[in-house]
Structure 1
Amino acid sequence: MRDGGRISAAIEILGDLEVRRRPVQDALKDWGLTHRFAGSKDRNAIGGLVYDVLRRRASLAAIMGAETPRALVFAAYALMWRRGLEGLVAACDPEDRHAPKAPDADEAQRLSAGMIPEEAPDHVRADLPEWLMPSFRRVFGEGVVGEGQALASRAGVDLRVNTLKATREEVLGLLEGLGAAATPWSPIGLRIAAGEGDEKAPHVVSELAYKRGLYEIQDEGSQIASLIAAAGGAKTVVDLCAGGGGKSLALAAALGPAARIHAYDNDKRRFGDILDRVARAGADSIAIVEPGAGDPLARLDGTADLVIVDAPCTGTGTWRRRPDAKWRLAPGALDMRVRQQAEVLDRAARLVRPGGRICYVTCSLLPEENEDRIAAFVGGRQDFSVADASGIWKEATGTELPDGIAVKVGGGRALRLTPRRTDTDGFFIAVLHRRG
């Protein structure tokens, strides 16, 4: 396919999303199944255009004075992909029957200017849903636009070296040809930088090093959360919302074979391919606890040195990778997540022994899901206190604490990682000690 056909395909897929309001991955998959002539490079380019539009939908619409799929894709191709008006006009070649019509006079003028109108409100400049601006402004204040813009950028591919099988230096050598580099904060992380335009990210799961279990795909922020949870050691661990097992695998490597990690999730469908991942990693210390009749974790009540709560949340911190979720999130979903977070914290409290700890983690930037939940939890209990997670940072990472990520809550300090401040996904990390 030529670029004109790719542009038309992106316009078609975004139109489908408007009508059917479904996850973008489903729309892209269905388009590929009905257009089998499109090769992998074509599908990658089309998906890249669609995702970039969703990352910056509000600001692109302001530039174009329209929110139609055509206007948004034109703006993404000309401005985000740096093809310019001239490149867009060339792509809209009238001799290419798959290409859209060339930009009209108004579209051409707007693309040439390429400017967000001065009167555009902050939620447009930040590419954030308007209804969430009070929450984001409460966290970031005058820096909200910059934080939103960073959250609307592309993310690289982050890998966690499996130290049960290899060192970072060994895996760096194996992936040198892919452009892998050491992550700035995690001592066990690698990053392959995000490409521009239609540049394709390397297929890291096809590498023999991956098949041998030498690394896992895991955002650096998630790696840091696992390292902070593991700091201080633990023998009995419960991963209460294990899902696919990313943090269980990281904890198995960080804590070593002497620890026993009980990976549980109340919906077994979320386990996905966890058994294959555990086997590939050689993480023999992980035991999968399936949901079932009664309470499968009851036998562990009051025994855990560490309970990690990767709490269900809105996922606002992952919008670089899942930009369609940004525009589909509704207030009711936030309310539901807040209730679930309170419930899972209460369950964690019954599991942890006196003198043990809970590590509460979300991939959210919203205070309602983070410091509000921690403040409410410790406010209602005299047996838990908030540790100074910022003091654990250096022990866990070997680096100095970045500016602006410490969050005062409940007499202690939690951490908030963001794309702008740490170049990671958005994460909130709080460590709660149960008094002995």
Structure 2
Amino acid sequence: MRLHRNLVLAVIHALDLIYNENEYADKVVQKTLKLDKRWGARDRKFVAETIYDMVRWKRLYNEIAGTKEHYTRDNLWKNFAVWATLKGIDLPDWKYFEGTPTRRIKGKFDELQSIRKVRESIPDWMDDTGFKELGDKWDKELKELNKQARVILRTNTLKNTRNQLKAALEAEKIDTEILPGYPDALVLTERKNVFLTQAFKKGLFEVQDASSQLVAPFLDVKPGQKVIDTCAGAGGKTLHLASLMQNKGQIIAMDIYGHKLAELKKRAKRDGAHNIENRTIENSKVIKRLKGKADRVLIDAPCSGIGVLKRNPDSKWKLNKEFLDRIRKTQAEILDQYSSMVKKGGKLVYATCSILPSENEKQVESFLSSNKDFKLIKEKKVSPSDSGFDGFYMALMQKEA
């Protein structure tokens, strides 16, 4: 493989924005890919995958390069040289690579394999927390969470079937495979920008990880019910609920961020989901007005996101222990407040994209111990290492009639 200067410069510039300006990796990748219209599919793939790769392995490369976590321009080039050397790429005769100790890089890599937090490239606090909560399973989860996420689509059954979607994408030269055990899912055989397809513009599918596709069916919704999605965000699960309800009944999509609900409105229009009403949570009155009114309530709670690190590798550098402590408190408060909207005999799902018991089953146990009118029906833990997909947790509870 030959390195092209303009592509590598784009990667270095992107890393500078992520490491030094604290910008989000996905947004930086989107911006970077628009820099040069002449780039072909292979160029774009190199830029996007190299940025994500270097963010994912940031700590490991930093330790090997000996750059002391100071991400000056020179140090970013040193980190890039580590990446290229470990990938077996010959370094060109550029000034940035003068004196690169390729043999020492490989030796240092081997030497660091015995230190899990460096080998798997995560902060100390995360390694301590993960091992404390998951024991030996933590090693397996980390290995999987450091792999690149596959692109999974969810068929919008309001507009087509999975087989029809598969055929529509094939007509646009996008190959997919059916995913057994996930009734609406297709997985891309090769990464492509599906957002440019006519199938997407017509609202025939949404991009949604396989594990995330398990949450809406877990709520056991029926057409005609009143359903509240309390932390709807941009609405991936809300739209899934709408399709499961065949557009019948009412879904109230709530969030504290109005701009996210505005995005949901656009997506719902494209998907032909007509039974969704958006409400921004500006104060507690919004919740109080709906007390005891809902057949089903979904709480897709804010969390550490440790289960989705393969999708958002930069989040491990933005997270800290203090945030985790705060978010656990927030989860308990949300569960306590939002559960009041469930009517007698109604059902509630608490879900997170975390694999830590302290954010999951421990929260549910604590909630049930102080809310005796609810009982646990079932819970599901989705392990990244067992499933190959994102880590998720979901608990289905019912309020006594």
| Alpha-carbon distance between aligned partners in 2 of 1:261 and 1:303, rounded to the nearest angstrom | 12
Q: Give the equivalent residue in structure 2 for 1:23.
A: 24
CA contact (8 A) 1:305 1:357 kept: yes
CA contact (8 A) 2:222 2:245 kept: no
Aligned-partner residue type, residue 385 of structure 1? K
Q: Residue 180 of structure 1: CA displacement?
A: 1.0
Aligned-partner residue type, residue 252 of structure 2? H
Q: Is 1:254 aligned to 2:219, yes or no?
A: no
CA contact (8 A) 2:112 2:118 kept: no
Q: Residue 224 of structure 1: CA displacement?
A: 0.8
Q: Give the equivalent residue in structure 2 for 1:74.
A: 81
CA contact (8 A) 2:222 2:244 kept: no
Q: Structure 2 residue aligned with 1:296, among 280, 283, 286?
A: 286
Deviations, residues 57-100 of structure 1 (Å, cap 9, x unaligned)? 23344555556433432333343xx4x1xx322xx234xxxx73
Q: Give the equivalent residue in structure 2 for 1:136.
A: 130
CA contact (8 A) 2:354 2:392 kept: yes
Q: Structure 1 residue aligned with 2:183, among 164, 180, 187?
A: 187
Q: Structure 1 residue aligned with 2:355, among 348, 358, 365?
A: 365
Aligned-partner residue type, residue 88 of structure 1? D
Superposition pairs of residues 84-95 of structure 1, within 5 angstroms: 84=88, 87-89=89-91, 92-94=92-94
Q: Residue 310 of structure 1: CA displacement?
A: 0.8
Aligned-partner residue type, residue 260 of structure 1? Q
CA contact (8 A) 1:240 1:308 kept: yes
Q: Residue 125 of structure 1: CA displacement?
A: 2.6
Aligned-partner residue type, residue 422 of structure 1? S
Q: Is 1:421 aligned to 2:390, yes or no?
A: no
Aligned-partner residue type, residue 84 of structure 2? Y
3-state SS in 2 of match to 1:124: helix
Residues 366 and 116 from structure 1, CA distance in 2 versus in 1: closer, same or farther, beyond 3 angstroms? farther
3-state SS in 2 of match to 1:178: coil
| Alpha-carbon distance between aligned partners in 1 of 2:266 and 2:132, rounded to the nearest angstrom | 42
Q: Residue 348 of structure 1: CA displacement?
A: 2.1
| Alpha-carbon distance between aligned partners in 1 of 2:113 and 2:3, rounded to the nearest angstrom | 37
Q: Residue 19 of structure 1: CA displacement?
A: 3.0
For the aligned residue pairs, the C-alpha RMSD in angstroms reads 2.7
Superposition pairs of residues 144-183 of structure 1, within 5 angstroms: 144-176=138-170, 177-183=173-179
Q: Give the equivalent residue in structure 1 for 2:48.
A: 47
Aligned-partner residue type, residue 90 of structure 2? L
| Alpha-carbon distance between aligned partners in 1 of 2:98 and 2:181, rounded to the nearest angstrom | 46
| TM-score, normalisation: structure 2 | 0.88
| TM-score, normalisation: structure 1 | 0.81
CA contact (8 A) 2:155 2:185 kept: yes
Residues 18 and 280 from structure 1, CA distance in 2 versus in 1: closer, same or farther, beyond 3 angstroms? closer
Q: Is 1:122 aligned to 2:116, yes or no?
A: yes
CA contact (8 A) 1:127 1:148 kept: no
Deviations, residues 124-152 of structure 1 (Å, cap 9, x unaligned)? 23333210223312443213222112101
Aligned-partner residue type, residue 6 of structure 1? L
Please say which of residues 201-210 and 242-251 is displaced more in the overlay. 201-210
Residues 337 and 293 from structure 1, CA distance in 2 versus in 1: closer, same or farther, beyond 3 angstroms? closer
Q: Is 1:434 aligned to 2:360, yes or no?
A: no
| Alpha-carbon distance between aligned partners in 2 of 1:320 and 1:424, rounded to the nearest angstrom | 9
Identity %: 28
Structure 1: any 5+ residue segments left out of the alignment?
196-200, 389-413
Q: Give the equivalent residue in structure 1 for 2:311.
A: 321
Q: Is 1:286 aligned to 2:276, yes or no?
A: yes
| Alpha-carbon distance between aligned partners in 2 of 1:192 and 1:366, rounded to the nearest angstrom | 29
Residues 207 and 257 from structure 1, CA distance in 2 versus in 1: closer, same or farther, beyond 3 angstroms? same
Residues 295 and 369 from structure 1, CA distance in 2 versus in 1: closer, same or farther, beyond 3 angstroms? same
Aligned-partner residue type, residue 203 of structure 1? N
Structure 2: any 5+ residue segments left out of the alignment?
70-74
Q: Give the equivalent residue in structure 2 for 1:59.
A: 60
CA contact (8 A) 1:135 1:367 kept: no
| Alpha-carbon distance between aligned partners in 2 of 1:240 and 1:24, rounded to the nearest angstrom | 27
Q: Give the equivalent residue in structure 2 for 1:330.
A: 320
CA contact (8 A) 1:348 1:358 kept: no
Aligned-partner residue type, residue 72 of structure 1? N
| Alpha-carbon distance between aligned partners in 2 of 1:383 and 1:254, rounded to the nearest angstrom | 27
